[in-house]
A and B are shown apart, each in its own frame.
Chain A
Amino acid sequence: DVKVTQSSRYLVKRTGEKVFLECVQDMDHENMFWYRQDPGLGLRLIYFSYDVKMKEKGDIPEGYSVSREKKERFSLILESASTNQTSMYLCASSSEDRGDVRETQYFGPGTRLLVL
């Protein structure tokens, strides 16, 4: 059973704080993703990583950075949190095997971040 865990379920931070969100997967997946989900906007891809130390920008990378030092761990960093970054943050992972169900993305439980 694929398991994706996220470090926090709920976080409250102040404007200007540096925020770290961590994601760990236990299925040896090559790919990992960070999304944010907002009402009426759906899921939007922030960054993804297809290998250790590799990263690619998604649709909305501004104000965010990521780090992948180990295969199982992918961190999302808000360098200076702002109120418009209040959102639900979802991490996902997937395998490289083409045409296989493992290529689909498996999601963590999400982190609800409130920036005051």
Chain B
Amino acid sequence: QKEVEQDPGPLSVPEGAIVSLNCTYSNSAFQYFMWYRQYSRKGPELLMYTYSSGNKEDGRFTAQVDKSSKYISLFIRDSQPSDSATYLCAMKANSGYALNFGKGTSLLVTP
């Protein structure tokens, strides 16, 4: 079993919809949780960062971490066509250097 699981999609939603993207993980040592957005043929860019549990909001984006269920989510409100991209979750334990990435979910927001 991979340490981080993420549904690859594709997920297609109409403009203005609320989008929910999710990852599950198996390693209870993970403490740092990130969401990256990657546009086609570009490098991933950091979207949200959360340390330990809880919620974090930034504009239309909300990241949630439920450590008891080993489940993290990214919500996008009022989705826009410019949100069309691949979203990668990533997580890390306190020790070590490497991030553990999900394979990414492809999102398409249609006008």
Contact = CB atoms under 8 A, between A and B. Distances in A.
Interface of A: 4, 31, 33, 40-43, 45, 48, 50, 56, 58, 90, 94, 98-99, 101, 103-110, 112
B25 interface: no
A50 B97 CA distance: 8
B104 A42 contact: yes
A105 B99 contact: yes
B44 A104 contact: no
B94 A98 contact: yes
Interface of B: 8, 32, 34, 36, 41-46, 49, 51, 88, 90, 92, 94, 97-99, 101-104
| CB-based closest 5 A-B pairs | A42-B103, A107-B43, A43-B101, A110-B43, A109-B43
A106 B88 contact: no
A109 B42 contact: yes
